[in-house]
Amino acid sequence: MGTSNLIDGRAIAEQIHAETAQRIEKLKQRGIQPGLAFVRVGEDPASKVYVGMKERTSTRLGIRSLTRVLDEKTSEADLLTLIRELNVDPAIHGILVQAPLPSHIQASRVYSTVSPEKDVDGFHPVNVGKLMLGDSSGFAPCTPAGVQQLLIRSGVNTEGVEVVILGRGDIVGKPMAAILCQKGKHANSTVTICHSRTRNIAEHCRRADILIAAMGVAEFVKADMVKHGATVIDVGVNRVNDPAAKGGSKLVGDVDFAAIQPIAGKITPNPGGVGPMTIAMLMQNTVLAAEQLTEKAV
């Protein structure tokens, strides 16, 4: 089938960046530069890479970025103090606390301390509640929002179709279900969430018109689990041993891509599928935060 059924996340992310840049330009004409603060605790190698990518994208689009790196042993109280300072900083419109956090810090307390109006990750309970209620004034988590945009901009119909989501996590699985089961355009799906306790997962998957894999198990989804012509979205990022690869390992998704691409109607590559969209939606959320905070100040 070649690449004709690939959903190009990089190209779609660039479309969104272009739209975001136009909104940034309008804000700048009013003397406002959107500001995004990154908070990283410790020296987790993947976190450093992710924050670096987000910083570079911010700079390219014209968003002012501020990065605060705290020592691995930083106390939860000190981290919360920093977040409260950023909450009241008028030059900062969005705050992102990079996961994972050290084990002695309670992530839920951290995310609840970020001001809901600056919570561009969409993890604050207020924004989680708004997402469930279909209130668009809140911030949707970046990865599931990005998946919805991939579907919309690839012409994938969600109305009344069967969606199966593998994974019930707070960052992707649950909010993804909340987005697609809403009564509204680009949603109205019949959603099933599968997880580690689900019986006969393969049977559920074979029903899916849209299959979204976000369970963090390398190449879990095999060809015999996918209906011919289904849309397959691979959110997984898993490091596996590969003696032939540089460094002895490589990153793979939750989907056995080579086996499934020939039977899928549309499929995301990995990398180059969902990943670029997560950053695109973060930038869009930051601009929305700047717009909303500016309107509130008027």
Given the residues 29, 44, 48, 98, the one annotated as active site: 98
Which of these is catalytic: 119, 121, 209, 234?
121
54 classed as catalytic: yes
Report how far residue 38's alpha carbon sits from residue 51's, in angstroms, rounded to the nearest whole number. 7
Collapsing DSSP to helix, strand or coil, 283 comes out as helix
168 contacts: CB under 8 Å, gap ≥ 6? 174, 193, 195
240, burial (CB in 10 Å: exposed 0-12, middle 13-18, buried 19+): exposed
DSSP assigned state of 10: H
Q: What span, in angstroms and rounded, lies between the C-alpha atoms of 265 and 195?
A: 24
234 has catalytic annotation: no
Nearby residues of 172 by Cβ (< 8 Å), 6 or more positions away: 141, 143, 144, 147, 214, 235
What are 174's two structure tokens? 């649950």
Amino acid at 231: T
Per the annotation, the verdict on 26 as an active-site residue is: no
Catalytic residue among 54, 118, 130, 227: 54
Which are the catalytic amino acids?
54, 98, 121
